[in-house]
Amino acid sequence: MTTAPKREIGEIDAPYRRKIKLDEVAYDGGMTLLRLTIREGARYTILEIDPLTAERWGRMMSEWSQAQASEPPQVTEK
């Protein structure tokens, strides 16, 4: 990846033994990105996104989670 300076924002323990880590990464020239590292066992997925993408993604996730909380649980027949 890179040796650009980074600041830890937080870490989330997600279902199924996944971990999500967020870091702010500052590159030479002034570009700052949000680095998302998703760990699933031994597999890592790393994304670096700009502030506009982070805002849009965050809004979509917030809207989805609020909709889930307001809907009754789905019942599936076996």
Please give the pLDDT value at position 57: 97
Residue 66, CA distances (Å) to 5, 8, 24, 43, 59 in order: 34, 26, 26, 30, 11
Per-residue pLDDT for the chain (78 aa), expressed as one digit of tens each? 547 889 999 999 999 999 999 999 999 999 999 999 999 999 999 999 999 999 999 999 999 999 988 777 666 665
The predicted model scores a pTM of 0.79
Report the alpha-carbon distance of residue 76 to residue 35 in Å, rounded.
37
Please give the pLDDT value at position 69: 84
Contact criterion met (CB below 8 Å) for 36 and 57: no
Contact criterion met (CB below 8 Å) for 57 and 49: yes
Please give the pLDDT value at position 4: 81
Please give the pLDDT value at position 74: 66
